[in-house]
Structure 1
Amino acid sequence: MASEIELKLALGESGPDALRRHPRLAALPSRVSQLGNTYFDTPRAIWKPHAAPCACAAMASGCCRP
């Protein structure tokens, strides 16, 4: 059975550019891909208030597209 590790980064304003310039990442060819996910929240929906701001911040940083 496959396993998945999801890594989420909290970056400051200059974070996305700094990450792109990191020597290990800058040496790799870039690619654009779309990711579709379905998230299942807890019974009390504790993550729901954070979902839209996180997605908007990721899109605003230029690292993701809707």
Structure 2
Amino acid sequence: MGLILSLIGLVIAALTWGALVPAMHFMAFASILIINAIIVGLIIGAVLGAIGGLVAFYVE
């Protein structure tokens, strides 16, 4: 359960930041923004994963 939430959170975060951030800036900054998007996506995914882990711990 927790792992599933973590993966879903990571995918959503990566898609959201990966799609929106580079589109709002010049292509010259795209590589930097993609790296930032990946980092932010990983952070959001980790947070959702931690929440999912706690939920799974208490539910199971």
TM over 0.5: no
Q: Which has the higher contact order (CA 8 A, sep 6+)?
A: 2
> TM-score of the superposition, structure 2-length normalised?
0.30
> TM-score of the superposition, structure 1-length normalised?
0.28
Kindly name which structure, 1 or 2, has the bigger radius of gyration based on alpha carbons: 1
